[in-house]
Amino acid sequence: MALTKNKIRFIQSLDNKKDRTESGCFVAEGEKIVSELIDAGFTIEQLYGTQDWVGQYAQNIKTNIEIISKEDLKKISFLKTPNEVLCVASIPKHRLNLSEGNNKLSLLLDTVQDPGNMGTIIRIADWYGIEDIICTPESADAYNPKVVQATMGAICRVKVHYADFKSLMPEIQKLGIPILGTSLEGDNIYETELPLNGFIVMGNESKGVNAEWMKYTTSKLFIPNFPEGKKRSESLNVAVATAIVCAEMRRRQSAQTKLR
């Protein structure tokens, strides 16, 4: 059966944040992400698969599946080359418990706006066992279809929260949780003592971390270029910088655990 116009219009609307917020739904595409969402217990509202996909993968899926043609899939897909399966899932409501922040590593994102960067950072967080990412409301929306796809499934495991940093930062400070910021004027990350837990704050693609939030950082770190001192590029991409800081913090934590 062909897809109704209403359904097509609804799915297409989920490209807009306003429509996602109103409906509480987001779109994910591809066998990997869809099966990971199902396994992770996400509520799947609608599931569309081609005959091929249903024949190969759908045996153990309990959600109602609507079999659609490749032409219909093309109409609802946000990908240049549509996959075999697309789902509409409910946006989860994650609870944030700031006081746990002392016992784990988390990320603060000050207005990372590029969906590709946001997705890549969620994927990095997943790799490094980071459960929570707290973003300013102006940051890219984690349930934007482009972000969901760029996470390669990490969105099923990492909790992305949005909060007003004006009240958040003093609260983290009051709890005495370390906040690590990166800055071109910071200390060489490899020559600085670092806490094992706390928040890493990363900033906007062109403006970096807002000076108002930098005030709350307990360490300002610099990722050294090479050869040191010889400045060439002005900075690293925000996702790349996030990865280098996370990698170094986890390297130390693993080394310490192995020493015990």
- Which residues sit at the interface with its own copies, rule CB under 8 A? 116, 120, 123-124, 126-129, 152-154, 157, 190, 223-228, 230, 232-237, 239-240, 243-244, 247-248, 250-251, 253-255
When the beta carbons of 1 and 259 are compared against its own copies, the nearer one is 259
Q: What separation in angstroms does the CA of 126 have from each of 45, 121, 131, 132, 133?
A: 25, 9, 7, 10, 10
**Residue 115: is the preceding peptide bond cis (ω within 30°)?**
no
The minimum distance between CB 66 and its own copies, in angstroms, equals 27
The minimum distance between CB 224 and its own copies, in angstroms, equals 7
**Is residue 133 packed enough to be buried (19+ CB in 10 Å), middle (13-18) or exposed (0-12)?**
buried
Cβ contacts of residue 159 below 8 Å, gap of 6+? Answer: 92, 94, 96, 131, 132, 133
When the beta carbons of 25 and 124 are compared against its own copies, the nearer one is 124
Task: State the Cα–Cα distance between residues 180 and 196, nearest whole angstrom.
Answer: 11
The minimum distance between CB 154 and its own copies, in angstroms, equals 5
When the beta carbons of 65 and 105 are compared against its own copies, the nearer one is 105
When the beta carbons of 51 and 254 are compared against its own copies, the nearer one is 254
The minimum distance between CB 233 and its own copies, in angstroms, equals 4
When the beta carbons of 54 and 150 are compared against its own copies, the nearer one is 150
When the beta carbons of 65 and 150 are compared against its own copies, the nearer one is 150
Residue 13 region by backbone torsions, left for phi larger than 0, else alpha for psi between -120 and 50, else beta:
alpha
The minimum distance between CB 254 and its own copies, in angstroms, equals 6
Give me the sheet containing 132-135, strands edge to edge. 159-162, 132-135, 105-110, 198-203, 179-188, 219-222
The minimum distance between CB 244 and its own copies, in angstroms, equals 5
Among 129, 132, 72, 66, residue whose Cα is nearest residue 98: 132
Task: State the Cα–Cα distance between residues 88 and 162, nearest whole angstrom.
Answer: 21
